[in-house]
Amino acid sequence: MSKQETVMTTEARAQIADEDRLRADLYDFLGVLLAAPPSEALLAQTASLSGDSETDLGVAVAALSRIARHTKPQAVEREFNALFIGLGRGELLPYASYYLTGFLNEKPLASLRRDMAARGMTRAQNVYEPEDNIASLMEMMGGLITGRFGKPATLGDQKTFFNTHIGPWAGHFFTDLEAAKNSVLYASVGAVGRVFMEIEAEGFRMSAEGSA
């Protein structure tokens, strides 16, 4: 990222409401956890989180924090590999195309690539898996909110992207992750993701009603 882009991103973030910044941070956090096995530093960061016991999301975050305190990097790497890589394939296939059509590299991926191009998003050169994987979509949504790909997206544009590429399947994926036989730490990641997707879907629904 150039110095000018960094300044633009910093200025854009300064104009974002605290609530939206927190939403983006949670999208980014889920994206990092789902992209690769967490390092010792990320596990320590996760272990330091606290959650409000009065809300479903707070309870899920607190549970994730408790498990992270007792998780070693080597153990979570084995867990990640069993869930997402495996011998040939992992227990779960975290791709929109697979969840929506039963096959990889289908119409949902083509649709996402068109929307990525329209928004100035490009796949990193060292990433080879399809762009419709859950980690990338979490990162994209966080970036749309904060303006990482240009100006911060309007609520309407966020809603369109979410309802097209995330809402139809991510909740199902996170539910599967929560219940997967190889999930330990990632069962709690699944719970956080599932509840967060429910909150986001409801928030977008209410915003539509409010503007009607």
Give the confidence band of 72 by pLDDT, cuts at 50, 70, 90.
very high
Burial of 30 (0-12, 13-18, 19+ CB in 10 A): buried
Give the span between the Cα atoms of 112 and 91, in whole angstroms: 24
**pLDDT of the residue at 86:** 80
CATH number at residue 132: 1.10.3480.10
73-87: per-residue pLDDT in tens? 999 999 999 999 987
182-212: per-residue pLDDT in tens? 999 999 999 999 999 999 999 999 986 666 5
**pLDDT of the residue at 1:** 42
**Cα maximum dimension of the chain:** 51
| pLDDT above 50 for 5 | no
| pLDDT above 50 for 2 | no
| pLDDT above 80 for 9 | no
Q: Which stretches within the chain are classed as H helix?
A: 3-14, 18-35, 40-47, 56-69, 73-84, 96-101, 107-118, 134-146, 155-161, 170-179, 185-211
* Residue 206 structure tokens: 């209410």
35-56: per-residue pLDDT in tens? 999 999 999 999 999 988 899 9
Rounded mean pLDDT of 88-111?
96
**pLDDT of the residue at 7:** 42
Overall domain count for the chain: 1
**pLDDT of the residue at 209:** 67
**pLDDT of the residue at 11:** 55
| pLDDT above 70 for 4 | no
109-151: per-residue pLDDT in tens? 999 999 999 998 988 777 788 999 999 999 999 999 999 998 9
- What is the domain range of residue 106? 3-211
Provide the whole-model pTM: 0.90
Greater model confidence, 62 or 10 = 62
Give the confidence band of 89 by pLDDT, cuts at 50, 70, 90.
confident
**pLDDT of the residue at 210:** 61
Greater model confidence, 72 or 207 = 72
